[in-house]
């Protein structure tokens, strides 16, 4: 089908706040420096729900959502050299061009080469490869994995081990990589550290896993849903607490529990009040707090400047600080060698046409990640 339009199924978000609709769409062939991928498996993440809700300032409709996927390259456009038809790949919502000043700086993973067009839901040339019922559809996060076929920029794809199970490693496209990287890249947690993890969803569990891999001696999980505590302990939490069980602010509870505060705290919810609590639970003099969760549009964070003057550090992370093209294949290798968990994050497997059920499971709080087989 190279150089031809492919007709396939996709889950289309026609408007904000409405369920996705399984439609037949047309996927145009890849242009220069583009790759067309047959998606084999994709997962549903809170970021997809955030955009679907209408709260995302960059949200465009109609759109094909999805950014945790894995598949096989179907065809490539002119000038593509890094991958070829038949390669096993993971699409990347943060690309790595290797040429912009961000890619050339070891301090960041935020490649900016296609940021403007990606934010507008378009390919780098300012157009879309998707049409449905005669209407052009927007792309999402440069990936759009809720489609049997998608087209991405060639700098937005990582070639991985072909023996990796795609219905598992698709999760390395976002949540697991983000949480794990927040620990090992952004915070750089040392052996023997005390850590607090706010929010025990998929990203929070990945943070706990990272703290365990880094050799933290005490990992405290925090969530208002006690049902999540068993899983958190399986991933390595030494104890779990519910803020609703205390009459005082959770940061004060943690300061008492840890003789002055934790060495590292991680906010994995996207709640600005929790971000403040996480910072203030960090130890005076050296505590580091990392914002991992994405807050709603227009939200602002606040704390007393004295918290920072007295030696705490507030940091943020996107995709766990991984330079994507070079790092995702290594993460797949770490999974294959059992250094990091992936299978344990998958709580449900559904067929692609059950995608709205996957969103319901996520909102219920009972599922960590639902994987859809295409």
Positions annotated as catalytic residues are 45-47, 67-68, 97, 100, 103, 111, 115, 174, 369
Check: CB of residue 345 under 8 Å from CB of residue 369: yes
Segment (H or E) for 116: helix 115-119
Sole residue written with tokens 């109609």 = 62
The crossing angle, in degrees rounded to 10, of helices 272-280 and 250-257 is 30
Q: How far apart are CA 369 and CA 138, in angstroms?
A: 25
Asked whether the bond before 62 is cis by omega within 30 degrees of 0, the reply is: yes
DSSP symbols for 226-254: GGGHHHHHHHT-SEEE-GGG-SS-HHHHH
Q: Which of 168, 238, 227 is nearest to 200 (CA)?
A: 227
Both structure tokens of 266: 């991680």
Identify any residues that bridge with 38 across adjacent strands, giving them in sequence order.
Answer: 72, 149
Q: Distance of CA 8 to CAs 25, 188, 309, 355, Å?
A: 6, 43, 56, 16
Task: Enumerate residues 6+ apart whose C-beta is below 8 A from 174.
Answer: 43, 45, 47, 67, 68, 93, 319
Task: Enumerate residues 6+ apart whose C-beta is below 8 A from 259.
Answer: none
* C-beta neighbour count of 278 within 10 angstroms: 32
């Amino acid at each position: 089908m190279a150089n031809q339009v492919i007709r396939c199924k996709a889950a289309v978000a026609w408007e904000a706040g409405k369920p996705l609709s399984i439609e037949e769409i047309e996927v145009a062939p890849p242009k220069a420096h583009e790759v067309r991928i047959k998606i084999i498996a994709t997962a549903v993440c809170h970021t997809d729900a955030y955009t679907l809700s209408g709260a995302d300032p960059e949200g465009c409709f109609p759109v094909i959502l999805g950014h945790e996927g894995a598949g096989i390259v179907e065809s490539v456009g002119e000038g593509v050299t890094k991958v070829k038809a038949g390669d096993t790949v993971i699409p990347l919502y943060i690309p790595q061009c290797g040429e912009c000043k961000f890619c050339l700086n070891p301090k960041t993973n935020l490649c900016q080469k296609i940021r403007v067009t990606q934010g507008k839901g378009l390919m780098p040339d300012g157009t879309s490869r998707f049409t449905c019922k005669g209407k052009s559809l927007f792309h999402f996060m440069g990936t759009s994995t809720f489609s049997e076929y998608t087209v991405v920029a060639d700098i937005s794809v990582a070639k991985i081990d072909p023996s990796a199970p795609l219905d598992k490693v698709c999760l390395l496209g976002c949540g697991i990589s983000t949480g794990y990287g927040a620990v090992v890249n952004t915070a750089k947690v040392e052996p023997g550290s005390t850590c607090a993890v706010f929010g025990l969803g998929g990203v929070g569990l990945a943070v706990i896993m990272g703290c365990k891999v880094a050799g933290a001696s005490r990992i405290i999980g925090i969530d208002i849903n006690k049902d999540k505590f068993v899983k958190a302990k399986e991933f390595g939490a030494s104890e779990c607490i519910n803020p609703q069980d205390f009459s005082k602010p959770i940061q004060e509870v943690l300061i008492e529990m840890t003789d002055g505060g934790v060495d590292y705290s991680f906010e994995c919810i996207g709640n600005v009040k929790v971000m403040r609590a996480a910072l203030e639970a960090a130890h005076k003099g050296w505590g580091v707090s990392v914002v991992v969760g994405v807050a709603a549009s227009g939200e602002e964070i606040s704390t007393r400047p004295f918290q920072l003057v007295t030696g705490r550090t507030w940091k943020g992370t996107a995709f766990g600080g991984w330079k994507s093209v070079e790092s995702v294949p290594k993460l797949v290798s770490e999974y294959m060698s059992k250094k990091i968990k992936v299978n344990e994050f998958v709580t449900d497997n559904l067929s692609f046409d059950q995608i709205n059920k996957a969103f319901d499971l996520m909102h219920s709080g009972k599922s960590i990640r639902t994987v859809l087989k295409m």
